[in-house]
């Protein structure tokens, strides 16, 4: 018997502030990545939650944001899905500017809490193998900056942070999303 899975895609930093910010105020490729994943995952079992508060107001991926409507809506959705499915998988979509010095030259980061789950390691290997120009990095995420993942891992759910480089083309994002979607549906 196969495992029945539902998927929750979260995009906490998609809303850009009206005023220009000196920091990285929003993740411009994160919503593109989320929409690409949505195109390849089964619509009847895939849900997207997009943050509507700019990161400069409150970072929706930090512990301080757990009482926000965004985080409460994710929690409530996951509780409902857990009643209908064997597993709920969180795909937390983010992006980073192409000029971020420490990540220069990379296209995609998969991040997980330490210790990194075996399935996330296998997915990183699959991405590196299947994407012809792939430059995928797997690294641990600090729980202080990946609180959505932390909260749902503590509740026994699977999840991963996906960091898309903002220099990726739509075609590259679609290629990565297709590999990720196929993997999480069949190989977890």
128: phi then psi, degrees, rounded to nearest 5: -65, -30
Higher pLDDT: 129 or 170? It is: 170
pTM above 0.85, yes or no: yes
CATH value at residue 69: 3.40.630.40
Beta bridge partners of 7: 46, 89
- Residue 12 and residue 152 in contact, taking contact as beta carbons nearer than 8 Å: no
How many residues are given for the chain? 188
Tens-digit pLDDT profile for residues 2-45 = 889 999 999 999 888 877 766 777 898 999 999 999 999 999 99
72 φψ region: left (φ > 0), alpha (ψ -120 to 50), beta (else): alpha
Count how many domains the chain has: 1
Domain containing 76: what range?
5-186
Burial (Cβ within 10 Å: 0-12, 13-18, ≥19) of residue 156: exposed
């Amino acid at each position: 018997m196969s495992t029945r899975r539902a998927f929750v895609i979260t995009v906490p930093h998609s809303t850009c502030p009206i005023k220009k910010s000196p920091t990285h105020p929003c993740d411009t490729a994160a919503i593109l990545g989320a929409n690409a994943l949505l195109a390849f995952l089964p619509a009847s079992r895939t849900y997207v939650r997009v943050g509507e508060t700019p990161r400069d107001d409150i970072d929706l991926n930090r512990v301080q944001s757990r009482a926000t409507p965004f985080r409460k809506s994710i929690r409530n959705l996951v509780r409902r899905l857990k009643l209908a499915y064997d597993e709920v998988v969180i795909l937390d979509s983010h992006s980073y500017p192409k000029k971020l010095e420490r990540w220069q030259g990379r296209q995609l980061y998969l991040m997980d809490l330490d210790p990194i789950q075996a399935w996330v390691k296998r997915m990183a290997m699959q991405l590196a193998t299947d994407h012809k120009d792939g430059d995928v990095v797997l690294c641990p995420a600090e729980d202080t900056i990946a609180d959505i993942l932390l909260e749902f891992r503590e509740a026994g759910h699977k999840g991963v942070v996906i960091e898309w480089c903002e220099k990726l083309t739509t075609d590259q994002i679609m290629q990565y999303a297709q590999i990720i979607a196929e993997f999480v549906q069949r190989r977890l």
